[in-house]
Structure 1
Amino acid sequence: MGGFATAPAVGLYGASKFAIEGISEALHGELAPLGVRVTIVEPGGFRTDFLSTLSMQVEPASIADYVAGAGPVREALAGNDGRQPGDPVKAAKAVVDITEVVEPPLRLQLGADAIERVEAKLDLVRRELDQWRHVALSTGT
């Protein structure tokens, strides 16, 4: 999910996922004529060790001016370890099952939280596109 809609405090993580999504979109078109399908799995939060100190390292120092933007995300990440809504066994089954589909989707969101974040991003992009359409169109000949 971080490659479709990132958040304050996790920009570098999101950037790496955005790169993978971009490569995957290109491969989707390049490999389709060869019969190879590409699906980008966009999981929400799943109860794994991802948010534990075994996996995630957080710089303890912070810049006061960034607390308003990054602080809530850092707090949420720290407070959600072991409380993520997704069942990793069910996610693994969904990923395996999608490999058996003749025409799998380019993107597969897993979890209600993933769907909510993707829908929120799509809504934001649509609102901004509509609001600034006149500027975009004013640049044509």
Structure 2
Amino acid sequence: MSTRPLWYRWVRVYAVGGAIVGTGLLLYKYATPTDEELIARFSPEVRRKYEENRALRQKEQQELMEIVKKTAASKDPIWITGSVKSPSEWREEQKANRERKERSAAELVQRAEIEKAKLELQQTEALAQTAEKKGWFKG
């Protein structure tokens, strides 16, 4: 058994624990890059894409904060005041709207092609009827 008192062991435990936590905090502070350093390390195309999407992310964050403020101002619980959609749900709705627009545009193009094909068919049938009236041997 140890001849040292119990309080000495506890002081040592707290000192070693504090040293471990302090070392972790210092490593975190000096080893983690800032946002600017991290963005500077991006490749040019990733940095360009990040800059393009920055405005969209800020807009989503502002809209989310407005919803949170509106919900917080209400006395009703959140399930009564309305659903708070996450940005991923907004993106899904935007994707669905985009697909709907693309589908309707494709339908318009397809209808135009069908009309064009019908017109060409009518012209071909009219040409075939005039060719039937005139035979190659009849002059």
TM over 0.5, shorter chain: no
- Structure (1 or 2) with the larger CA radius of gyration: 2
TM score, norm. by length of structure 1: 0.27
Q: Higher helix proportion, which one?
A: 2
TM score, norm. by length of structure 2: 0.27
Q: Which of 1 and 2 has higher RCO (CA within 8 Å, sep 6+)?
A: 1
